[in-house]
Structure 1
Amino acid sequence: MPGVKSFSACVQDLMDAWIESKDGTEAADIYQAAMLPLLPNMILAVVDWNSPGAEAFSVEFVRRYSVATKVLDFLTLQEPFEFRSFPDQEYLKHTAIPALTEVMTQKRPSLSKGSVNFGHCKIVYERLLVPQKSETGRSEWCIVLSRIDLLLPEVSGFESDGIDLSILQLLTEGATQKEIGLRLGLSPRTIEHRIDRLKGRVGARNLQHLVTLWIASRLEDVC
């Protein structure tokens, strides 16, 4: 996209700005390096930690995730908030707080990739954490730059036999129901019935949704 920075370019600019910064530099002076329009699947935020205890973390969003989705209510989730009032405390306890505490205590940036279950979906992401430089105690703020690569609904009950697996695989390859029937030696009507049964089992609205839910169910075991 013309005039839009890639995640890699933003990472480099933020790291350069952090390296050149002095003790006591404000977060805004560093994240200005990434203030050109970002891709819609990227988030830029600042986490403040001004009081003792991890529950005292608070977040302000500078650039928000803006990809259209119905899986999560990003409009609400990206309002400024304190950790103690966030709805998913398990996510904070096991994912966000450990990562932020480590980076802000060690006062060194961290670039990572990973996946996390949040709400009723799986998020695959890449993330840069850039903490405040401090010659005395821990950092009091941390810049968070994150790119969401995949946002998929959690899936349960996706049971399938060998024929179902072949149908699903061929659907991911773009095959039509007629082509699948010819390949498997089954009538188009049989293929249609099996697809309808799979859709009903997992609540898929159409073929595209069915394939997406199947892929999401497979990713539960690998990321």
Structure 2
Amino acid sequence: MNSIQLFQHAFEQWQSRKPAGREQVYAFCRELEADCIAGTNLYVVDMRPDDPFAFGPDVLVQNVDMQASPGTFRQYPDQEFIGKDVVPFYQEIKQTGRESMLRMKSRIQGHFVVYDRIMLPMKDDGSNRWALSMTKTRVLVPPLVNLRSLTDRQQDILTLAAEGHSSKTTAQRLGVSHRTVEHQIAAIKKKLDAKNITEAVAKFVGNSLSL
């Protein structure tokens, strides 16, 4: 099943079964493990502490390694990501008891990531103290450390390539020869450690996006 079907299935089961307590929460989540398709991560989050930064994620399925296995959110190395795109959402579902299903865009430890996420709160002794969190990664662009090594001309070429221009039309737009553009593309691929211009554009765009 795709991510929409998987999230819908998890949501419907959560609504009908209302798992409560640690044992039921883990049993419910483990039933979903086999359905976690490529790019899908599955967590159980302990929301019992009063401090949301002390909430503890337990990784059940990790198809995309974002080094998300700390004891608590406070121990995760990228605290900007945790404070902006994680903790506020767990605070909300703990307080309201309502699900959260969103398409997220985050920068996580230098990676640009677009992902779908569902968060389902679950009760223990009458309060929302546990949560299921499932993410499906759609775009993952690794951190790029040498973007500044690109010349202005090379960035122009990447911008035009991102707009769909071929090397030939790029040469026409920039008023240079086709050979010059091909030479610059070869230099770009070397600088960005890219196999082709498509990969180079993905790295360039991913690194340039402002979140």
Q: Same fold (TM over 0.5)?
A: yes
Deviation at 1:180, TM superposition (A): 5.5
Equivalences for 1:136-175 in 2 at 5 Å? 136-137=126-127, 139-154=128-143, 156-157=147-148, 160=152, 165=156, 169-170=160-161, 173=164, 175=166
- Decide whether aligned partners of structure 1 residues 13 and 167 sit closer, same or farther in structure 2, where only a CA change above 3 A counts: closer
- Decide whether aligned partners of structure 1 residues 192 and 36 sit closer, same or farther in structure 2, where only a CA change above 3 A counts: same
SS in 2 for 1:132: strand
CA displacement, residues 88-131 of structure 1 (integer Å, 9 cap, x when unaligned): 12221222111111111111111111201111111111110010
Find the counterpart in structure 2 of residue 70 from structure 1.
Answer: none
Deviation at 1:190, TM superposition (A): 1.5
Unaligned runs of 5+ in 1: 67-73
SS in 1 for 2:126: coil
Contact kept? 2:157, 2:181, Cα under 8 Å: no
Deviation at 1:78, TM superposition (A): 4.1
Say which of 47, 50, 65 aligns to 1:49: 47
Deviation at 1:164, TM superposition (A): 5.8
State the percentage of identical aligned residues. 20
Scaled by the length of structure 1, the TM-score of the pair is 0.75
Unaligned runs of 5+ in 2: none
- Decide whether aligned partners of structure 1 residues 53 and 213 sit closer, same or farther in structure 2, where only a CA change above 3 A counts: same
Find the counterpart in structure 2 of residue 95 from structure 1.
Answer: 85
**Structure ranking higher in helix proportion:** 2
Equivalences for 1:202-221 in 2 at 5 Å? 203-206=191-194, 207-208=196-197, 209-217=199-207, 220-221=209-210
Deviation at 1:53, TM superposition (A): 1.2
Contact kept? 2:18, 2:122, Cα under 8 Å: no
Contact kept? 1:13, 1:34, Cα under 8 Å: no
Deviation at 1:24, TM superposition (A): 2.5
Give the root-mean-square deviation of aligned CA atoms: 3.1
Deviation at 1:216, TM superposition (A): 1.8
Find the counterpart in structure 2 of residue 190 from structure 1.
Answer: 180
For residues 20 and 155 of structure 2, the distance between their equivalents in structure 1, rounded to whole angstroms, comes to 60
- Decide whether aligned partners of structure 1 residues 170 and 97 sit closer, same or farther in structure 2, where only a CA change above 3 A counts: closer
CA displacement, residues 139-181 of structure 1 (integer Å, 9 cap, x when unaligned): 11100011111111345546645x9645653477584x56765
Give the paired residue count: 204
Q: Does residue 1:15 correspond to 2:7, yes or no?
A: no
Contact kept? 1:6, 1:38, Cα under 8 Å: no
For residues 125 and 92 of structure 1, the distance between their equivalents in structure 2, rounded to whole angstroms, comes to 15
Say which of 24, 29, 32 aligns to 1:31: 29
CA displacement, residues 38-81 of structure 1 (integer Å, 9 cap, x when unaligned): 22211111100222212321111111124xxxxxxx27x14353
Q: Partner amino acid for 2:2?
A: S
Contact kept? 1:43, 1:145, Cα under 8 Å: yes
For residues 179 and 11 of structure 1, the distance between their equivalents in structure 2, rounded to whole angstroms, comes to 43
- Decide whether aligned partners of structure 1 residues 40 and 23 sit closer, same or farther in structure 2, where only a CA change above 3 A counts: closer
SS in 2 for 1:145: strand
